Amino acid sequence: MELRDYIRILRKGWIFIAALTLAGVAVGALASLLATPTYVSSTRLFVSVQAQDSSTTGDAVQGSSAAQQKVQSYVDVVTSDAVLDPVIDQLGLDTTAAALAGQITADSPLNTVLINITVTDTDAQRAADVANAVGTSLTEVVVNELETPADGGASLVKIATIVPGSVASAPSTPRTALNLGLGLLIGLALGVGAAVLRSTLDTRIHGSHDVELVTDAPIVGGICYDPGAKKHPLIVHVDPRNPRAESFRTLRTNLQFVNVESASRCFVVTSSLPGEGKTTTTANLAVALAETGATVDVVDVVDVVDGDLRLPHLADTLGLGASSA
């Protein structure tokens, strides 16, 4: 298919495409309206490890390296029961540690001693409270339990909150603009795809372009549709200056150059179904031929024969008796 074929398909199926595009936007809007808003709050912790009797630069570097190694383990501790159970008790949450863990994500940027704790909740204030409480609980568990020296001395690990969790001013989801944009793009893609598929599967003849696709035979003429053709069938005679009358004259001229080497030519006007314009075309073509000086009757230069044995109308259209047609 060429570019002009796709343009023709888009022009032909623009209503279908527009309907599916609007449907996609409506689905995106509905998804945004029905979705429960969720809020995100994050807190950031700084982890430091002090080497025993650290008094040199080498000891400080060694402590920083140890902190980076420990941070990766502390990230996994964030969602443990040991950290979350105290949070649930402190805030009086009606949930379990496992369920609360599903709302929390923790990560540490590469080659840093930072821990980011992010909490997602349907309540903005609760999300901030949980984020801060988890940071505090992690500090207690790590410093006072996991990293307490066996001899009972002070822990060499220190965790400080450098960015506390704050109350979000707007929900993180649903993202209405994104949903509408995705709905628009998906609806448009579905509409275009459906229009192309519909055109590919449609084997009906809708116009001269479709005729050119199914046959190598040339098109000798085209007559536009006229809903008032039944009231004024002989348009060439009644309104000679009408564009439709000119179409019949063009058809007449083209037929005169078909098989010019033959002295005797015969043309059949037919259709697949009744009421498609066989009689109207034949009658107007006869009038157009008569305008050139040819005689259109049963004995002279051109013969017009009504071959419709069931519903013959040519004689009535031309104002002739049945025996003259």
pTM of the predicted structure, to 2 decimals: 0.57
CATH no., domain 39-163: 3.30.70.1130
The domain locations on the chain are 3-34+175-201, 39-163, 208-324
CA 139 to centroid of chain Cα atoms = 49
Q: Which amino acid is at 102?
A: G
CATH no., domain 208-324: 3.40.50.300
Q: Do residues 248 and 285 lie in contact, with contact meaning Cβ atoms separated by under 8 Å?
A: yes
294 Cβ contact partners less than 8 Å away, ≥ 6 residues apart: 301, 302
The Cα–Cα gap between 142 and 159 comes to 8
123 Cβ contact partners less than 8 Å away, ≥ 6 residues apart: 39
The Cα–Cα gap between 140 and 83 comes to 8
CA proximity to 165, closest of 43, 268, 260, 75: 43
Predicted pLDDT of residue 133: 95
If residue 134 lies in a helix (H) or strand (E), which one and from where to where? helix 124-141
Place of tokens 């209503």: 15
14-34 helix and 3-12 helix, angle to the nearest 10 degrees? 70
Burial of 142 (0-12, 13-18, 19+ CB in 10 A): buried
Mean pLDDT of successive 10-residue stretches along the chain, which has 325 residues? 77 89 94 92 89 50 67 90 94 93 92 92 94 94 81 78 92 90 94 87 77 80 79 80 86 80 75 79 84 56 63 70 48
